Structure 1
Amino acid sequence: MSHELVIGCVGKPSAGKSSFLNAATDSNAKVGNYPFTTIEPNYGITYYPTECPCKRFDKISVCSPRYGRCEQGTRFIPVKMLDVAGLVPGASEGLGLGNQFLDDLRSAHVLLHVVDVSGTTNEKGEETTGYDPINDIQWLKDEIHQWIYNNLWKRWGNIIRKQKATKVQADSILHKKLSGYGTRLFVVKEALERIDLKEPISLDGWDQDQLHKFVDSFLDVRFPTVLVLNKVDQSASDQNISRICSRYPDYAMIPTSALAECFLKKMRQQGYIQYKEGDDNFYTSDTVSTLKVCDEKVKGRLDKLQDLVLFRYGGTGVQLAIKTAVELKKFIPVYPVKNLKTLSCSIKGGDVLRDCMLVSKGTQVREFAGMLHPDLEKYYLYAEGINGQRLGESDEIQENNNIIKYTTAALESVGKDKDKDDDK
């Protein structure tokens, strides 16, 4: 599985997944008001906003990200988004585009479940009125659950026999069987701990209920999910949102209007408004003289959007959903530097805080060196934190040690090769 964070947009057909991708990224995913508009998965790049170290170390004026951007101490880190084919009930048994959906899902780290809270599409994504979206949440989780459970249960006899023959711990065996889902060992360990199981664990004593319990726990760790309650500008949405919040109080959920965000971005691009993603307001020619004057039709649509979405919910919710997804998965921004005093990526200076990578919880210091460059891990000597203190190679990277300088046995040659690559 790739080290780069991937956010998966999931949900039933026509819930607004492709519109959300277009709103959150510069992608032009195909949008349609009919099931299975998305056949092949669509990708796009969005940005996770977080406080940049340049603010803490008074280097805002010289901060120079290679990718993304930094605006007055707020770092916008690129994140890949994936919009997969819509899911329908029975997907785990191959109905609809179920098999493709579930295969596409393997590359995602965290899910944004886009739910049409307007009640204008049924469970198959067909146009309707008065549909109750509250059940969409559970059946999507149930379909993913059954997909994983079925794959384990049909091999369960072999799994038990292998543990008996090899005396291997349960977490190692389960990790191997779940590796196809991009799973690391600590994910399996955490899933077992959440259901109060500690080694030694005998899988021979598990029945189907125990396995279902484990799969539920595994899903919570492997695929944490944010509910994106989309189409909040429709008349029936408020009532549906209230009932969903009451039914699922433990879920992270964000009210959104993907189409509103798309429209605001379009109007900004055409010079009619001044708008920043995530804001709860925008400006027109009434207050900014350099903007184009809106005609009555456009002005009416903007006023309606402002009343039904921005004022009511404090924004379109798109940027907040991205931020919530990254933080729910507990990915950490890491800044590799070559000079701890200047925070530059060159020993001689320049390119302050140029590079940043989001890494998953549990990533170790030496492991991260290999993510940056194979030679950094191969010739690894030691790593230092921001105050020059040595970091243990098996130390987990956290917010308090996420600015790292590496020293290797071939530092000079690796540095020269890297500089040459950067100059190309």
Structure 2
Amino acid sequence: MASSFVIACVGKPSAGKSSFLNAVTDASAKVGNFPFTTIEPNQGVAYYAIDCPCATYGLSAQCKPRHGFCKNGRRHVPVRLLDVAGLVPGASEGRGLGNQFLDDLRQADALIHVVDASGTTDDQGRETRGYDPVNDIQWLRSEIEQWVAGNVERKWGGTVRRHVATRSSAVDTLHAQLAGYGTRREVVQRALDGVAGAVDAQLEQWDAAALRRFIGEFLDVRFPTIVALNKIDMPDADKNIAAILRRYRRPAAAPVSGRPMLRDGVSEGNIVLTSALAECFLRKMAAQKYIAYATGDDDFQTQGEAGGEGLRPMDDKVRRRVENIRDLVLFRYGSTGVQDVVGRAVEALGYVAVFPVKSLVNFGAPGGAFRDCVLVRPGTTVREFARKLHSQAIDEGYAGAETVGGIQLAEDDVIVAGKNNIIKYSVSA
């Protein structure tokens, strides 16, 4: 089965979104199958890299994923990426492809916002100098907030009257208003918990400011956002990056535990420095056998270097370009950052990787160990996962479940990474 969540990639024209999408989805054309029966034209497949249990159990050579791939004990799990078009200021009022842009967001569980850190493109994507990229972060959030708030505020009077008449809970009433945004009830509950003490507990006492406060919290929970500060190797990027990191840094007095403090829907921990063009070029050079390189690596090898056996020689022009990438991106930042962006997006959702197996002795080896890996929402129980795997064969015939060490699992046990996320189900005859 496929993981059902979607990451939406947004960005103004010329921010580097197309290069970013090419950088994170290029491998899907080369690596086996992916578990999505239909990929729409504006969708692609990226990969979330995690430690695979095959390494723990000495089965790396026998690890044969049904979807994605595993290399040296690192499992690359397919995730769906949605390319959202039409992002310009005024999208909430229908500018550009605004209506399509906002409707596309309903499908998304998390957002990747590609931002031009160099400041060489204005809010319309036109060439300029000295533009402050923090503006892009702010107006993206503003557009989404205006979209949701406008829809809710238009119906708020009638919503409150029905709430009072039916004596519904605040969660149920708000969920009914927000369900059109692909919202689960628990998301609304978390948003309400987040404003507890800041707004009145009774919906009928909410004024416009209280409603806006709740909507802001709702967006923080519903659309966790990763900012990909792109073009980090261009002039003027350094000062813009420093300013953005200062703006979104956690205050020294803020508690370290708990959910990060957000501003404009962003925290310092969800900002990743990237060079999508550098990644695309390195991949191209690797495909043509000029360098040995894999996404996420902190360096590459060329002919004549250790690990560069069998590679082709480069002319001076190409060598200068790859050496510039090595100096300005890899040595300086540790990687091109594109793989980290996808990882942060999945981790922002708190998803857990689960490995269903038919045997806890050999995990499917020698025919193929750890064939399946499914990413599930946090809080998923053992029985809920059985239902997701196969509603008839496993759920209806459910006879029990256990994890490594023969430990029996209760139906309502929550699946936790590293504890009970390798699961063998038993079914009745």
Asked if TM exceeds 0.5, the reply is yes
- Whole-Å separation in 2 of the counterparts to 1:18 and 1:378: 45
CA offsets, 1:335-366, max 9 Å, x none?
A: 11122222229xxx743211111111122222
Which residue of structure 1 aligns with residue 171 of structure 2? 171
Contact 1:272 1:285 in 2 (8 A): yes
Alignment of 1:405 onto 2:407: no
- Whole-Å separation in 1 of the counterparts to 2:149 and 2:111: 19
1:280 maps to which of 298, 305, 328: 298
SS in structure 2 of the partner of residue 82 of structure 1 = strand
2:318 maps to which of 295, 298, 314: 298
- Whole-Å separation in 2 of the counterparts to 1:313 and 1:402: 33
Which residue of structure 1 aligns with residue 329 of structure 2? 309
2:374 maps to which of 357, 360, 373: 357
- Aligned-pair distance for 1:13? 1.8
2:350 partner amino acid: K
- 1:329-348 matched pairs, under 5 angstroms: 329-344=349-364
SS in structure 2 of the partner of residue 14 of structure 1 = coil
SS in structure 1 of the partner of residue 359 of structure 2 = coil
CA offsets, 1:245-295, max 9 Å, x none?
A: 111113311111000000000111111111111112111112224111111
Gaps of 5+ in 1: 30-39, 411-424
Contact 1:192 1:214 in 2 (8 A): yes
- Aligned-pair distance for 1:201? 4.0
SS in structure 1 of the partner of residue 375 of structure 2 = strand
- Aligned-pair distance for 1:396? 2.3
- Aligned-pair distance for 1:395? 2.7
- Whole-Å separation in 1 of the counterparts to 2:65 and 2:364: 11
Contact 1:91 1:97 in 2 (8 A): yes
Contact 2:28 2:46 in 1 (8 A): no
- Whole-Å separation in 1 of the counterparts to 2:168 and 2:400: 33
- Whole-Å separation in 2 of the counterparts to 1:181 and 1:396: 26
Contact 1:22 1:28 in 2 (8 A): no
Which residue of structure 1 aligns with residue 91 of structure 2? 91
Contact 1:3 1:371 in 2 (8 A): no
User: Relative to structure 1, is the Cα distance of residues 396 and 289 closer, same or farther in structure 2, using a 3 angstrom cutoff?
Assistant: closer
1:378 partner amino acid: E
Contact 2:200 2:206 in 1 (8 A): no
- Whole-Å separation in 2 of the counterparts to 1:205 and 1:327: 36
CA offsets, 1:143-164, max 9 Å, x none?
A: 1111111121111122212222
1:405 partner amino acid: K
User: Relative to structure 1, is the Cα distance of residues 362 and 290 closer, same or farther in structure 2, using a 3 angstrom cutoff?
Assistant: same
Contact 1:26 1:44 in 2 (8 A): no
1:370 partner amino acid: R
- Whole-Å separation in 2 of the counterparts to 1:3 and 1:284: 38
- Whole-Å separation in 1 of the counterparts to 2:202 and 2:195: 15
- Whole-Å separation in 1 of the counterparts to 2:426 and 2:172: 33
TM-score when normalising by structure 2: 0.87
Which residue of structure 2 aligns with residue 230 of structure 1? 230
- Whole-Å separation in 2 of the counterparts to 1:4 and 1:284: 40
- 1:2-401 matched pairs, under 5 angstroms: 3-26=3-26, 42-196=42-196, 201-249=201-249, 250-251=267-268, 252-287=270-305, 288-344=308-364, 350-375=367-392, 376-399=394-417, 400-401=419-420
- Aligned-pair distance for 1:77? 0.8
- Aligned-pair distance for 1:41? 6.5
- Whole-Å separation in 1 of the counterparts to 2:136 and 2:46: 26
SS in structure 2 of the partner of residue 66 of structure 1 = coil
- Aligned-pair distance for 1:3? 4.7
Contact 2:199 2:210 in 1 (8 A): no
User: Relative to structure 1, is the Cα distance of residues 41 and 271 closer, same or farther in structure 2, using a 3 angstrom cutoff?
Assistant: same
- Aligned-pair distance for 1:404? 1.5
- Aligned-pair distance for 1:62? 2.0
User: Relative to structure 1, is the Cα distance of residues 121 and 151 closer, same or farther in structure 2, using a 3 angstrom cutoff?
Assistant: same
- Aligned-pair distance for 1:5? 2.8
SS in structure 2 of the partner of residue 9 of structure 1 = strand
User: Relative to structure 1, is the Cα distance of residues 387 and 165 closer, same or farther in structure 2, using a 3 angstrom cutoff?
Assistant: farther
- Whole-Å separation in 2 of the counterparts to 1:160 and 1:352: 55
Name the stretch that deviates more: 388-397 or 253-262. Answer: 388-397
CA offsets, 1:302-350, max 9 Å, x none?
A: 12222211111111111111112211211110111122222229xxx74
Length, aligned pairs only: 396
SS in structure 2 of the partner of residue 125 of structure 1 = coil
Q: Percent identity?
A: 52
- Whole-Å separation in 1 of the counterparts to 2:170 and 2:412: 23
Gaps of 5+ in 2: 30-39, 250-266
- Whole-Å separation in 2 of the counterparts to 1:217 and 1:142: 13
- Whole-Å separation in 1 of the counterparts to 2:101 and 2:14: 15
User: Relative to structure 1, is the Cα distance of residues 204 and 27 closer, same or farther in structure 2, using a 3 angstrom cutoff?
Assistant: farther
- Aligned-pair distance for 1:86? 3.7
- Whole-Å separation in 1 of the counterparts to 2:144 and 2:20: 21
2:277 partner amino acid: L
- Aligned-pair distance for 1:27? 7.6
- Whole-Å separation in 2 of the counterparts to 1:398 and 1:196: 28
Contact 2:121 2:131 in 1 (8 A): yes
Contact 2:68 2:76 in 1 (8 A): yes
CA offsets, 1:166-204, max 9 Å, x none?
A: 222111222232222222211111111112269994211
CA offsets, 1:68-87, max 9 Å, x none?
A: 11222211111111121141
- Whole-Å separation in 2 of the counterparts to 1:15 and 1:137: 12
Which residue of structure 1 aligns with residue 264 of structure 2? none
- Whole-Å separation in 2 of the counterparts to 1:119 and 1:281: 27
Contact 2:65 2:372 in 1 (8 A): yes
- Whole-Å separation in 2 of the counterparts to 1:292 and 1:61: 29
TM-score when normalising by structure 1: 0.88
